[in-house]
Amino acid sequence: MTDEEYMVLFKPELDFWESGKNIYRYRRISDQEIDTLKSGYLWLSFFKDVNDPFDGTANFQKTYFPADTVNLITRVGIEKFRPNKVLFDDLTNINGSSWEPQMLGVIKEFSKYYKMCSFSQSNNNNLMWSHYGDSHRGMVLEFDYRKDMECFGQPYIVRYQGEIPEVNLVSGDPQAIIQLMCTKSSEWEYEQELRIVQPHNGHKLHYNPFALRRIIFGCNTYKEDIEKVKSALHNHSHIIFSQCYMDN
């Protein structure tokens, strides 16, 4: 892959990086969520546990997976998604005669090891407030992911399309990796989703407390919930608290 091809493939991510924008996470206020704030961690979910059952799926073309895929994956920085050497080696050993069982086995292992955490590019999306922010009774967490690149890395921007992608593994095209990890139905486009994807032993991914920059409460957030959140973060004076309101 040339530098020009790399720039085209990851143009959405590079554009977002250069924009200097922060990322947002809509949350319902609960005792568990307050614990995540107090302890400073993100909850990583398996692909199979997300709300879209087609997320992380693809139609795979039946062709062998060549050894130079490893080099291409490394070239675009996806080598960090290597849960173990055995699985990584499996990707280089698939041949035409036994393609289907081997490839399905690798994908099954993929779904076991990789976990993800979702964010949005927007902090004022009414549908997001309704679906993930407890109908404006919750909150939005604003993160500056650049404050902790070890945790967040470069978030991937979800691509939306009308059909399940057909992933072409011929020549080890790295676009296939992006299609698998970051493609959703166009029905979800309103989310403006970004996600971090990591091979992680547990579900808790701890972040630098200074990465959490602001908490925005909904226009219907209960006062007692606001106080619970502020109390949990009373040692973090850098965090800004604000609240939505109805504009007449």
Average pLDDT over residues 69-88: 47
- Total-model pTM: 0.77
State residue 105's pLDDT score: 60
pLDDT in tens, 138-172: 999 999 999 999 888 878 888 887 776 666 554 45
- pLDDT at residue 77 above 50? no
DSSP string, 159-192: EEESS--EE--GGG-THHHHHHHSEEEGGGGGG-
Long-range pairs, 70-73, Cβ under 8 A, ≥24: 70/172, 71/172, 72/1, 72/171, 72/172, 72/173, 72/174, 73/172, 73/174, 73/177
Task: Name the one residue in this structure whose structure tokens are 């020009």.
Answer: 4
pLDDT digits (tens, 9 = 90+) for 96-106: 555 555 555 65
Task: Please give the mean pLDDT across all residues of the chain.
Answer: 78
Tell me, what's the pLDDT at 94?
Answer: 55
Residue 83 scores a pLDDT above 50: no
Q: Answer yes or no: is pLDDT of 215 > 70.
A: yes
